[in-house]
Structure 1
Amino acid sequence: MTNKEKINYKILSEEGTNKNSTTIELNISQSNNMYVIHRALIKQLNNKRYGNANCKTRSDVRGGGKKPWKQKGTGKARAGSTRSPLWKGGGVIFGPKTKKYTQKINKKEQKLALRNLLYNKEKSTNIVENFSIQSEKPSTKDIIKKIHSLKILLTNKILIIVAKKDPKIYLSVRNIQNIEIIAANQINLLSIIRSKKIIIEKQALDIITRTYNG
């Protein structure tokens, strides 16, 4: 069963003070809160795995079409192919093959997990009217200055959720180790879990409510 929970976020000004507030409603499930998050997280982690280990069996190894010698009369053991696993250069018996680790989860469960996690991260979430810099060109210095103005330490793992990725902001942020920036329609559990502080644009918050509250 899901029920609506209101989250009252404080909107921070450029000086890091509470300018005003905004409230959103999220449909969350308190009965299986962590279970749904765990399922969605395991799915995301498994989908990132690559089962690239691959050995060639005797049917995959090139060559070996000709019988090495006749069946009888040579005194040697019978052989049908030089690509037998018993021969040097032959195939591998029971070697590893490419494997898929992908898992599936219902879309409603995936959205519920994201909503539950956002609800749990309420205290470490900050809302800003607009995450932008005054410089016309990418500037890491301006981004650091903006983060400090919001009274957030750069030693924390920071997740910035914007309405739309701005190339200037992206280029400014990519040199900073502890900052990750993603669009509101591309948020994922792993990024939210890893972050100690979350900064969300007000416009991005509206997109999150529309996209993941269904």
Structure 2
Amino acid sequence: MAARTSFVGKPLACAGRVGPRATQVACRSVTRAQVAEVAVLNETGEKTGTKQLDLKFAGESSKGLVHRYVVHVLRNQRQGTSSTLTRGEVRGGGRKPYQQKGTGNARRGSRRSPLIPGGGAIFGPKPKDWSSKMNKKERRLALSSALVNAADAIQVVPDLDGKFGDMKTKSVVSALQSFGCGEDEKVLLITKDQENEGLYLGGRNIPKLTFNVMNNIHIYDLLNADRILMEESVVPYVQETFGA
């Protein structure tokens, strides 16, 4: 399998400009169509042909755009609910703990001091909103560019509806092996919906298998996968949504 370029941690490739504004300018100026050829497999895992996806591609600015989308998704996943009590919020401490002089100890005016166990926290975390904004067109272009880059790892497989009625992990593992997925490979399976209960219940115990629905493809799962399996009914939606 051909090696894929990692978009995570890459700087924005734009002539002398950085930041979201530069990415927006680049998106408007260098967006073009890119043909991605993906392999088509039958139920036994044999390659029966290829399909071409005519997708939007951000050109040289795709690395910075995809990286910013990954940061946007990961920031929005953070809850930001960590909280500590400051000196003024700790309960008690109204009484002086011991007399000012004669004990040999440091002078104390309250038990709520951060220097005493059980006291307040100094510069501790407080609830914070980590979310960031990104335009819908930019998000869609970033995901489309990531699909173009991952074309070598994408394989189109027949729809898996009704094929896992036993709801057993063994059946799902056998199907993945027939499609050429190794035990150490991280696999992303993109389905048309979540109604295939047998597939989801049978595959949830597989550590390196991730499920995505076609209308909610996760950019991080897409970049993190070694092999991407896409149901045949998902291809028209991808072409219509991300097509040039």
TM-score class, shorter: 0.7 to 0.9
Q: Which residue of 1 aligns with 2:154?
A: 125
Q: Structure 1: which 5+ runs fail to align?
A: 70-75
Which residue number corresponds to residue 73 of structure 1? none
Note the C-alpha offset of 1:52. Answer: 3.5
Amino acid at match of 1:178: K
Change (3 A) 1:68 1:150: closer
CA distance in 2, matches of 1:151, 1:187: 22
Look up the match of 2:200: 170
Q: Residue type of the partner of 2:222?
A: I
1:9 counterpart letter in structure 2:
V
Query: Cα–Cα, structure 1 residues 157 and 133, in superposed 2: closer, same or farther, change >3 Å?
Result: farther
Residue 15 of structure 1 corresponds to 44
Change (3 A) 1:86 1:160: closer
Once the two structures are TM-superposed, the CA of residue 112 in structure 1 deviates from its matched residue by: 1.0
Q: Secondary structure at 1:185's aligned position in 2?
A: coil
Secondary structure at the counterpart of residue 31 of structure 1? helix
**One-letter amino acid of the counterpart of residue 48, structure 1:** Q
Distance across 2 between alignment mates of 1:97 and 1:107: 30
Residue identity in the other structure for 1:206: P
In structure 2, what residue type is equivalent to 1:7? A
Alignment TM-score, normalising by the size of structure 2: 0.72
The 2-side partners of 1:37 and 1:168 are apart by: 33
User: Pairwise mapping of residues 28-107 of structure 1 onto structure 2 (< 5 A)?
Assistant: 28-57=57-86, 60-61=89-90, 85=113, 92=121, 94-107=123-136
Aligned Cα root-mean-square deviation (Å): 2.8
Structure 1 residue 3 corresponds to structure 2 residue 32 = yes
Give the match for residue 186 of structure 1.
Answer: 216
* Letter of the 1:119 counterpart: V
Percent of matched pairs sharing the same residue: 27
**Structure ID, larger Rg:** 1
Q: Are 1:155 and 2:184 counterparts?
A: yes
Aligned with 2:163 (options 134, 148, 153):
134
Write the deviation string for residues 76-105 of structure 1: whole angstroms up to 9, x where unpaired.
8xxxx9797589776555443122222221
Paired AA for residue 118 in structure 1: L
Would the aligned equivalents of 1:82 and 1:90 in 2 still touch at CA under 8 Å?
no
Among 228, 231, 237, which residue is 1:201 paired with?
231
SS in 1 for 2:166: coil
Q: 1:19 to 1:57 in 2, by over 3 A?
A: same
Q: Is the 8 A contact 2:55 2:144 kept in 1?
A: yes
Deviation at 1:193, TM superposition (A): 1.1
**What is the Cα deviation at residue 210 of structure 1?**
2.9
- How many residue pairs align between the two structures? 204
- Unmatched runs of 5 consecutive residues or more in structure 2: 1-29, 101-108
Give, in whole Å, the separation in 2 of the partners of 1:177 and 1:91. 41
SS of 2:60's equivalent? coil
Q: Kindly state the Cα deviation for residue 157 of structure 1 after the two structures are TM-superposed.
A: 0.5
Q: State the AA in 2 paired with 1:129.
A: P
2:87 touches 2:114 (CA, 8 Å); kept in 1? no
| Residue 110 of structure 1: how far off its partner (Å) | 1.0
Q: Which residue type is aligned with residue 145 of structure 1?
A: S
Structure 2 residue aligned with 1:72: none
Letter in 2 for 1:117: A
CA distance in 1, matches of 2:193, 2:208: 20
